[in-house]
Amino acid sequence: MNNILNTIVAAKKKEIEPFKRKSPIERFERDGFFWEISNRSLISSLLQPGSTGIIAEFKRKSPSKGWFKNKELEVEPVVTAYNKQAAGISVLTDDEFFGGDLDDLIQTKVVTDIPVLRKDFIIDKWQIAEAKAFGADVILLIAACLTPAEVKEFAAYANSIGLESILEVHNEEELGHCCDEVSMVGVNNRNLRTFEVDINISLQLFDKIPAGKPAITESGISSVESIVTLRNAGFKGFLIGENFMKEENPGKAFEEFVIGLK
């Protein structure tokens, strides 16, 4: 079936091939920032007493909504505001569909001191080494575009180089991809094949998430009331991007949201 996710994955395979030939994993491990940048734990940040639990996202556009902000928007003012009270920061690094790049990731790492998630469509172990080299603390593994064996392999490799991982699922079937190697489980309320959103997906799946895996809810969260409901259900993390990025001043929108949450 032709859908948005299939289109993105096909484009991603084509995109990374020339870079893999130019910079193999060994080059990242040898010459990248592996040894320079310390890792920050998203799990610890989410579980810290008093944590907002918010993983605030920086993204310029989406396939379903188009551009929120143009390419000229600098990452630093936005993520610096996020850094004050967020539990973590998510950075979209896909260019073609989300208007992001790896410079956004490394700039975020340099000017913040909370965990940074590289949000992209990871389909190859090479991208995990790349994420580490550009400053990520956490990677996203999307069940909808990976096999259970790939999730296990990729999460194990992430662990081996000091990264945490979030397994993103949208339904009970995809929870079958969960394994010991995965650090956290994220429930995406957005169907990546149709881009329809329903936060009840998170509420329906929470009890089925394996014990010991901190649960994160993603997409469609636009109100303090939604966070209260999802937190009461047991979720520790709340990934929010569009709600802030669509505003004239995303950093200020985030700060005002947190005031309402308190």
Digit-coded pLDDT (tens) for 67-93: 988 887 899 999 999 999 999 999 999
* Residue position matching structure tokens 């995965």: 182
Identify the band that residue 35 occupies on the pLDDT scale cut at 50, 70 and 90.
low
Residue 215 and residue 185 in contact, taking contact as beta carbons nearer than 8 Å: yes
Identify the band that residue 32 occupies on the pLDDT scale cut at 50, 70 and 90.
low
pLDDT at res. 56: 98
Digit-coded pLDDT (tens) for 95-127: 999 999 999 999 999 999 999 999 999 999 999
Between β-strands 66-67 and 61-62, what pairing exists: parallel, antiparallel or unpaired? antiparallel
pLDDT at res. 179: 97
pLDDT at res. 156: 98
Identify the band that residue 159 occupies on the pLDDT scale cut at 50, 70 and 90.
very high
Digit-coded pLDDT (tens) for 230-240: 999 999 999 99
DSSP states along 69-101: S-TT--HHHHHHHHHHH-SEEEEE--STTT---
Active-site positions read 57, 59, 119, 168, 188, 218-219
Residue 30 and residue 204 in contact, taking contact as beta carbons nearer than 8 Å: no
The residue-averaged pLDDT of 201-207 equals 95
Residue 174 pLDDT exceeds 90: yes
Residue 226 and residue 240 in contact, taking contact as beta carbons nearer than 8 Å: no
Task: Delineate the domains of the chain, giving CATH numbers in brackets.
Answer: 4-261 (3.20.20.70)
The residue-averaged pLDDT of 218-240 equals 94
From residue 122, alpha-carbon distances to 35, 82, 136, 166 in Å are 23, 25, 13, 12
Residue 224 pLDDT exceeds 90: yes
Digit-coded pLDDT (tens) for 10-23: 999 999 999 988 88
The larger pLDDT score, comparing residue 75 to residue 33, is at: 75
pLDDT at res. 1: 34
pLDDT at res. 70: 80
CA–centroid distance for 51 within its chain: 18
